[in-house]
Chains A and B, each alone.
Chain A
Amino acid sequence: MKVALFATCLVDTMVPQVAMATARLLERLGHEVVVPPGQSCCGQMHVNTGYRREAVPIVANHVRAFAGAEAVVAPSGSCVASIHHQQAAVARRAGEHALAEEAAALADRTWELSQFLVDVLGVTDVGAYYPHRVTYHPTCHSLRMLKVADRPLQLLRAVRGLDLVELPAADQCCGFGGTFAVKNAETSTAMLTDKMANVLSTHAEVCTAGDASCLMHIGGGLSRLRSGTRTVHLAEILASTEEAVTPHQSTTPAVPA
């Protein structure tokens, strides 16, 4: 299958290794990956901060960039949820009905990574090797808007060498919430503290999730505390193999960017 990869603005700019891992993984599974060069952002940050009018041209750019794509995959539950639940709605509200139609049609062909692997490709064992103690945080939009359920856990259970430990109170938000983390920094930090306490209680080396944004939040807190527990995106774990594991297994990604 020919897969168009939507890196998302955050991953593309801040954590490129996540998108690279997604591409390597899909290629290893025998699929052709294309990266439409016109892509930027899904518009979620604008919509969720109250700038729904300003989000419309961003949605239009996204629809233009991925026009004609057979399948779009993104390593983010949150961005895919925005594509599914917000893009057409903001276009429609702005009176851009043709754009709304196109956005809705594109959303039907857009998948979050774990859903694409399990539901579309029908694989749970992607042939990965990751010899670490790992706990999984189900991010809110993956869990409640996309309903990815246990798909990421199915994928993780099939990874060779991986010791999966259950995260207590896993369904509690980490406190990121986009601009919430800045506008309500103190409440956000209080939520993060409880999430970190739960992560650390598992004695996992790695906390993983399907969203780089939430991981940047949890990882930013863990790093500030010098906790030693690091955050690694699900795509990076699934892309790791015996051949691609870095010798030190420090915070550097398993797949060289």
Chain B
Amino acid sequence: MTAVFLGIPTAPRGVGHLRGDLSFPDAARDSLRDGQLRANLGHATATIRGKRAAVVGEVPDWAELREAGRAIKAATMARLDEHLIALEEQVTARGGTVHWASDATEANEIVTRLVQATGTDEVVKVKSMATQEIGLNEALEAAGIAAHETDLAELIVQLGEDTPSHILVPAIHKNRAEIREIFLRTMPGVDPGLTDDPRKLAMAARAHLRERFLRARVAISGANFAVAETGTLAVVESEGNGRMCLTLPQTLITVMGIEKVVPTWRDLEVFLQLLPRSSTGERMNPYTSLWAGVTPGDGPQEFHLVLVDNGRTAVLADEVGREALHCIRCSACLNVCPVYERAGGHAYGSVYPGPIGAVLSPQLTGIEDNASLPYASSLCGACYDVCPVAIDIPSILVHLRAEHVEAQQHAGPEALAFRALSKAMSNPRLWRLAQKAAGLGRFLAWGRPTLPAALPPPASRWTRTRDLPTPPKETFTQAWAREHGG
């Protein structure tokens, strides 16, 4: 058999959560009607935005830190293969085992096998985007293994049989009255007098989780960073559930996207400042757990690191789009995005919503599987401004739109219109004719200052909610030429 190179593989279909069932405009149509969702999101994102702005504003060298973060990520990606091999060597030397997974299917198989080898049928989980991405919980469930989410928001989502809608705050779409209802309905042995007081809700979750922490023999985590030179893994969190999972069980399995590696211990200095201020709006997160391999008599005695590609190498091959791999999952771009704030995270159909999701998901899956996402932005640029590693998200969005357009075999009506317009706009004589034709639109208005609301598509998509001014009799350039004898 002759091997044919078909390009670098993207994340496979049928496994994981990178693709939605609906296009963004169709999914958003439903969520925009949900007044409760809009209120919850508006309140939550405005609160986090304010907190972030305050703690970022008090750092005098934020711009330099941000540039350092960008530069470290760019340099790391340029030699990603070398750093990953160094990481494997260091983790192995410290008693851990490294597994390489080319995609979600392989990663799920590896983790399932590792859990089965311990003989347990349940695991506790630290909040992790990588395991959400690959659909690990479903894979474990299919193998008869129960995965208990221990992050409060992930727990809410899991108990409510819901899906996450935010990278940092997966249950951001729920308010505390809704959370109380989920707990009362699903939590075994919960106090029937539970109120929606946040402290009471947290205590109920704490009691529910405590028993699972003490019972669990296997924990599964993600990682915020992995230091190549020391083999150190890092998880930053707020609640302490992560610390419990990372220290109590006998076996720890960490699933990590290959882009999370940083070359040196010193690099953490930059990211541990950038991340908490950008994500939760705190000067420092309450818990930072760091570990390397295993320590006899202290903590898990078996450690596995699963390095997942799942389309990342394909992203790395795109010289514009690869910047998306610099993301440290802080969610600052979601919290400032006017589109995310209104449409909500589920409309993106991927575990990575918001502006970063709109550039990451289509690249991980291949653009045609998420073709509507690069257009789910008004290109207002708020995401780029707040990104702690200066990912130029608007430029990547525009680049991916072009990749989608250029991937089409046949030109549709839009492409034909844009081609014709390009011809006209690059030839002054044709352009004047096109302007004259546009000006004829004024006859549709019957002398009124605006055009009728009922126009054929695609104009109707504007005029359904907004008036369109009646085109003037004379363009500016015509009027000017008339006045100046041109």
Alpha-carbon separation in the docked complex, A134 to B427 (Å): 39
Chain A CB within 10 Å — which of B415, B438, B439, B477 has the most?
B477
The answer to whether A65 and B378 touch across the interface, beta carbons within 8 angstroms, is no
Residue A12 contacts which of B29, B377, B382, B475 (CB distance < 8 angstroms)? B475
The answer to whether A40 and B428 touch across the interface, beta carbons within 8 angstroms, is yes
The answer to whether A14 and B422 touch across the interface, beta carbons within 8 angstroms, is no
For residue B428, give the distance in angstroms from its CB to the closest CB of chain A.
Answer: 4
- The interface residues of chain B lying within 8 Å CB-to-CB of A223 are 450, 466-467
* Closest chain A residue, CB of each to CB of B385: A144
The segment from A113-121, A159-167, A214-222 found at the interface with B is A214-222
The answer to whether A58 and B422 touch across the interface, beta carbons within 8 angstroms, is yes
The answer to whether A37 and B472 touch across the interface, beta carbons within 8 angstroms, is no
* Closest chain B residue, CB of each to CB of A16: B476
CB-CB under 8 A for A38 and B401, given A14-B471, A224-B467, A257-B472: no
The answer to whether A16 and B479 touch across the interface, beta carbons within 8 angstroms, is yes
A-B contact count (CB 8 A): 206
For residue B254, give the distance in angstroms from its CB to the closest CB of chain A.
Answer: 37
Residue B215 interfacial (CB < 8 Å): no
The answer to whether A46 and B421 touch across the interface, beta carbons within 8 angstroms, is yes
Contact residue range for chain B? 35 or more
The answer to whether B384 and A187 touch across the interface, beta carbons within 8 angstroms, is no
The answer to whether B472 and A16 touch across the interface, beta carbons within 8 angstroms, is yes
Residue A172 interfacial (CB < 8 Å): yes
Residue A19 interfacial (CB < 8 Å): yes
For residue A86, give the distance in angstroms from its CB to the closest CB of chain B.
Answer: 8
8 A Cβ contacts from B401-421 to A: 401-406, 414-415, 418-419, 421
- The interface residues of chain A lying within 8 Å CB-to-CB of B47 are none
Alpha-carbon separation in the docked complex, A31 to B152 (Å): 65
For residue B440, give the distance in angstroms from its CB to the closest CB of chain A.
Answer: 12
Alpha-carbon separation in the docked complex, A35 to B477 (Å): 7
- The interface residues of chain A lying within 8 Å CB-to-CB of B73 are none
* Closest chain B residue, CB of each to CB of A81: B381
Residue B466 contacts which of A12, A40, A60, A217 (CB distance < 8 angstroms)? A217
The answer to whether B377 and A177 touch across the interface, beta carbons within 8 angstroms, is yes
Instruction: Give me 5 A-to-B residue pairs in the complex whose CB atoms sit less than 8 angstroms apart, sorted by A's number.
Output: A51-B418, A140-B382, A178-B378, A181-B466, A187-B339
**Chain A interface (Cβ within 8 Å of chain B)?**
7, 9, 11-16, 18-20, 23, 35, 37-41, 43, 46-55, 57-58, 60-61, 65, 86, 140-141, 143-145, 171-173, 175-192, 194, 216-217, 219-221, 223-224, 251, 257
Please provide the 4 A-B residue pairs with the shortest distance between their CB atoms, ordered closest to farther: A177-B378, A220-B466, A50-B401, A16-B476
